[in-house]
A and B are shown apart, each in its own frame.
Chain A
Amino acid sequence: MATILATAIGVGLGLLLSSKRLVGRDLIDAIATAPLVMPPTVLGYYLLVVLGRRSLLGHAWEAMTGSSIVFTRTGAVVAATIGSLPLVIKSSRAALEGVDRALISAARTLGASPARVFFTIQAPLASRGLVAGVMLGFARALGDFGVTLMVAGDIPTETQTAALAIYDAIQSRREAEAAGMVAVLTGIAVLALYSVNKLTRRRE
């Protein structure tokens, strides 16, 4: 779920940031990709402030759905989404900027709306970079620890990510279980990075 959300928001922002006409795009890029270098606790703190029960957003969400965002599965999804978003944004922006501007101009003079240009020209031509970003985002979301712990806690079967489950298993001396999960996460991370390398190299 976090990967789907990060893809929709990340590719959208990547498209926006790839436009040279956007005023202040470097500042927007810096803010949107700051989670990449921020300590997870700082990011978690911001999310608690923005999404907590006393915040405007958290209050509105609770009034609509009857449950809060923080310390629920929704919170875990938001935490993983925010954590993986910068990777999707960075890859999407780079991939979309790599599409020849003349092709976009040509499509526009042929009567295509901006949305049609994106779906028929930009997205297919940038598809390798877009897929690479989504794969990195997926791997990042799967292994989220700090932000999820701050925003959604560590509730087994509810908000516990694989990384949190490993931590719990180590704490309660279930080493074999921890080793199994570590192997799976390592495999996914290596596979994701290998695929990303393959995809971006073929594009070059």
Chain B
Amino acid sequence: MPVHTRGIALVFQSLALFPHLTAIQNVEYGIDRSLSNGDRRQCALQMLERMKVPHVGDRRPATFSGGEAQRVALARAFAISPRLVLLDEPFSAMDRTLRQSLLADVRAYADESKLPILHVTHHRNEARAVGDRAILLDAGRITGVGTVDEMIRM
């Protein structure tokens, strides 16, 4: 199945925001193109509001703070109404306070929209904040599957 038809959104470690597009254009990029331009823009704005960064809408990624960039990347991933979201350590470079606030928002959005999220992390606290179930990997091999608390105790 070609990548663009899978309906799986991915938030990269580098975030991979399109540097030549504004925040709104970044979030609009993946929204259903059968919608009118106005509707797509509206959806993008709502998602930026949901991620608490509506104020960066007309700015380009080079002007974002670290936290703003993370939130725009999440908004872009959530905006395509994916079947699954993969988070590839997108919060690894953030300080603890910022990370916790973002994780809480991600968890709230996932619960609200019943969206499955596969979150790759090296941080136990991150796994606890976002996850229900965890898969423990060691050198590329699965060494445990269970609840997050069970895996942390292993």
Residues on A with beta carbons closer than 8 Å to the beta carbon of B115: none
Given the complex of chains A and B, what is the CA–CA distance between A100 and B20 in angstroms? 13
A residues in contact with B103, CB < 8 Å: none
Give the tally of cross-chain contacts (CB within 8 A). 48
Q: Is the C-beta of B9 less than 8 angstroms from some C-beta in chain A?
A: yes
Given contacts A100-B16, A110-B9, A112-B30, 19 further A-B contacts (CB under 8 A): A100-B14, A102-B14, A103-B16, A105-B10, A106-B10, A106-B12, A107-B29, A108-B4, A109-B4, A109-B8, A109-B10, A109-B30, A110-B4, A110-B30, A110-B80, A111-B4, A112-B29, A113-B4, A121-B18
Q: Which of A103, A106, A124 has the most CB of B within 10 A?
A: A106
Give A46-87 interface residues, CB cut-off 8 Å to B: none
Q: What residues of B have a CB within 8 angstroms of the CB of A120 in the complex? A: 29
Which residue of A is nearest B9, CB measured?
A: A109
Interface residues on A, range: 10 to 19
Classify the secondary structure of A's interface with B: helix
Distance of A98 Cα from B88 Cα, bound (Å): 23
**Would you list 26 pairs from A and B whose C-beta atoms are within 8 A, ordered by A residue?**
A100-B14, A100-B16, A102-B12, A102-B14, A102-B16, A103-B18, A103-B19, A105-B16, A106-B12, A106-B17, A107-B18, A108-B3, A109-B4, A109-B9, A109-B10, A110-B4, A110-B9, A110-B29, A110-B30, A110-B76, A111-B7, A111-B80, A112-B4, A112-B30, A113-B4, A124-B20
CA distance A2 to B41 in the complex (A): 41
**B5 close to A (CB within 8 Å):** yes
Q: In the assembled complex, how far is the CB of residue B115 from the closest CB belonging to chain A, in whole angstroms?
A: 15
Question: Cβ of A125 and Cβ of B20 under 8 Å apart?
Answer: yes
For window 1-54 of B, CB contacts with A under 8 Å fall at: 3-10, 12, 14, 16-20, 29-30
A125: nearest chain-B partner, CB-CB = B20
Nearest to A120 among chain B residues (CB) is: B29
Closest partner residue, chain A, to B27 (CB atom): A110
Question: Number of B residues whose C-beta is below 8 Å from A?
Answer: 19
CB contacts (< 8 Å) of B12 on chain A: these are 102, 105-106
Assembled-state Cα–Cα distance A106/B10 (Å): 7
Among B5, B14, B17, contact of A111 (Cβ-Cβ < 8 Å): B5
Contacts of A121 in B (CB 8 A): 18
Give the distance to chain A from B78, nearest Cβ to Cβ, in Å. Answer: 11
Question: Considering the chains assembled together, what is the distance between the CA atoms of A139 and B97 in angstroms?
Answer: 57
CA distance A124 to B20 in the complex (A): 8
How distant is the Cα of A118 from the Cα of B21 in the complex, in angstroms? 15
CB under 8 Å from chain B, chain A span 111-147: 111-113, 120-121, 124-125
Taken together as a complex, chains A and B put the C-alpha atoms of A112 and B10 apart, in Å, by 13
Task: Report the Cα distance A186→B47, complex, angstroms.
Answer: 55
Which residues from A are CB-within-8-Å of B16?
100, 102-103, 105-106
In the complex, what's the smallest C-beta–C-beta distance from A122 to chain B, in angstroms? 11
List, in ascending order, chain A residues with CB within 8 A of B14's CB: 100, 102
- The distance from the CB of A113 to the nearest CB of chain B, in whole angstroms, is 6
